[in-house]
C-alpha cells in the first residue's frame, strides 16, 4: 500500500480566521517556553533584589515594618503584574519571550487583549502545581497539560484561548507596499469610516504582509474575503486583492486621522 503523503509531524499549526483565511504558525514547544520563563524569572529576581536593597537603605527594614510591607507589595506586583504589563504593552511578549522570538496570540491569530493576559496569569498558579519544598512551583501541571495538546497550550492558554508562537521575521514583511498606490478616486469609493472591526483589520493586515504566498494564491484567498466586506459597504470587489489593499489604506487613514485629532490641543479648530 502506498504511503499517504501528509504534512510532517512538527510544531506547525494552521489558524483559520472568521473570514476563512488560513495562516500557518510555528507553535513554541515546552523547552523554548521554559527558557523564556527562566529569562523572565532572572529579570524579576534581579529587579526585586535591587529594589529590596534600595528600600532597606531608605526605610531601615530591621527597625520598621514599613519596609517589609513594601517588599511584600513588590513581590505581589512582580508575580502577578509582570506578565500582564509586558504582554499588554508589547503585544504578547515579555522580555524573555522577546529574547527567544516568541509571542502570545489568540487562537484565531489575533493579538491578545488585556483580559486574555490576566486570565493566563491567574491560571499560572494552577500550572505551577504541585509545589516543591512547600513553596517552589514545579510547573508539572502545565507541562503535562501542554504535552497532551497539539498546540502545546498550558491550562492558562486553554482558558484564555491563546497560544505561544515562534515569530519568523522572514515570513512577514516589515511594511505593506501597495503597487500601484491607490488613487483618491479609488479610496473615495469606500466609506470614510469602513465598518471593519479591529480583529478584521488585523486579519487584512496579516494577509497583506505575508510574502510567502504566490500571486495566484493571494488572489484566491482575497476572493474568499473581499466580497463579504464589499457587500457590507454597499459596493463590489471586481479585483478582490486590490479591494483589500484599498480597504487597508482607507482604514489606516482613519486611524491616522483619529490619532492626529487626539493630539490636537483642547479647543483647537481644524
Angle CA 65–69–70, to nearest 5:
120
Task: Say whether both 150 and 210 belong to one domain.
Answer: no
Closest of 30, 164, 167, 26 to residue 105, by C-alpha: 164
Task: Say whether both 208 and 129 belong to one domain.
Answer: no
Residue 270 in any domain: the answer is no
Residue 261 in any domain: the answer is no
| Structural domain span for residue 58 | 24-167
Task: Say whether both 70 and 127 belong to one domain.
Answer: yes
The answer to whether residues 12 and 26 touch, using CB atoms and an 8 Å cutoff, is: yes
Share of the chain above pLDDT 90, in %: 26
Average pLDDT value for residue range 94-120:
89
Task: Say whether both 33 and 137 belong to one domain.
Answer: yes
Asked whether residue 198 carries a pLDDT value surpassing 70, the answer given is yes
pLDDT of residue 24: 66
The answer to whether residues 59 and 70 touch, using CB atoms and an 8 Å cutoff, is: yes
Q: How far apart are the first and last CA of the chain?
A: 74
Asked whether residue 115 carries a pLDDT value surpassing 50, the answer given is yes
Asked whether residue 33 carries a pLDDT value surpassing 70, the answer given is yes
Indicate the average pLDDT of the chain.
Answer: 79
**pLDDT class of 269 with cuts at 50, 70, 90:** very low
Task: Say whether both 156 and 61 belong to one domain.
Answer: yes
pLDDT of residue 13: 67
Average pLDDT value for residue range 54-69:
68
Angle CA 196–270–253, to nearest 5:
25
Quickly count: other Cβ atoms within 10 Å of residue 227's Cβ: 14
Domain boundary among 167, 197, 219: 167
Residue 19 in any domain: the answer is no
The tally of domains found in the chain comes to: 2
**pLDDT class of 66 with cuts at 50, 70, 90:** low
**Which tens digit of pLDDT belongs to each residue from 164-187?**
998 765 454 446 778 888 888 888
**Which tens digit of pLDDT belongs to each residue from 215-267?**
888 899 899 999 999 999 888 889 999 999 999 988 888 776 665 555 555 55
**Quick one: cell of 14?**
494552521
The answer to whether residues 68 and 74 touch, using CB atoms and an 8 Å cutoff, is: no
Amino acid at each position: 500500500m502506498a504511503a499517504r503523503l501528509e504534512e510532517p509531524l512538527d510544531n506547525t499549526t494552521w489558524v483559520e480566521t472568521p473570514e476563512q483565511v488560513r495562516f500557518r504558525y510555528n507553535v513554541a514547544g515546552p523547552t523554548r517556553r521554559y527558557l523564556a520563563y527562566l529569562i523572565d524569572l532572572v529579570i524579576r529576581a534581579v529587579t526585586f533584589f535591587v529594589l529590596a536593597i534600595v528600600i532597606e537603605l531608605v526605610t531601615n527594614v530591621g527597625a520598621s515594618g514599613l519596609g517589609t510591607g513594601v517588599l511584600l507589595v513588590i513581590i505581589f506586583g512582580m508575580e502577578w503584574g509582570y506578565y500582564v504589563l509586558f504582554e499588554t504593552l508589547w503585544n504578547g511578549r515579555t522580555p524573555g519571550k522577546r529574547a527567544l522570538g516568541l509571542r502570545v496570540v489568540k487562537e484565531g491569530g489575533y493579538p491578545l487583549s488585556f483580559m486574555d493576559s490576566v486570565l493566563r496569569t491567574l491560571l499560572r498558579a494552577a500550572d505551577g502545581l504541585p509545589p516543591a519544598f512547600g513553596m517552589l512551583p514545579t510547573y508539572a501541571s502545565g507541562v503535562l497539560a501542554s504535552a497532551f495538546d497539539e498546540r502545546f497550550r498550558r491550562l492558562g492558554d486553554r482558558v484564555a484561548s491563546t497560544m505561544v508562537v515562534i515569530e519568523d521575521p522572514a515570513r512577514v514583511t516589515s511594511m505593506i507596499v501597495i503597487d500601484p498606490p491607490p488613487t483618491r478616486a479609488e479610496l473615495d469609493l469606500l466609506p470614510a469610516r469602513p465598518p471593519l472591526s479591529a480583529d478584521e483589520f488585523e486579519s487584512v493586515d496579516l494577509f497583506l504582509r505575508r510574502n510567502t504566498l504566490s500571486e495566484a494564491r493571494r488572489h484566491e484567498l482575497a476572493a474568499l474575503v473581499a466580497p463579504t466586506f464589499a457587500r457590507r459597504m454597499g459596493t463590489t470587489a471586481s479585483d478582490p486583492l486590490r479591494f483589500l489593499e484599498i480597504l487597508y489604506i482607507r482604514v489606516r487613514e482613519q486611524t491616522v486621522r483619529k490619532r492626529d485629532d487626539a493630539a490636537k490641543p483642547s479647543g483647537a479648530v481644524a
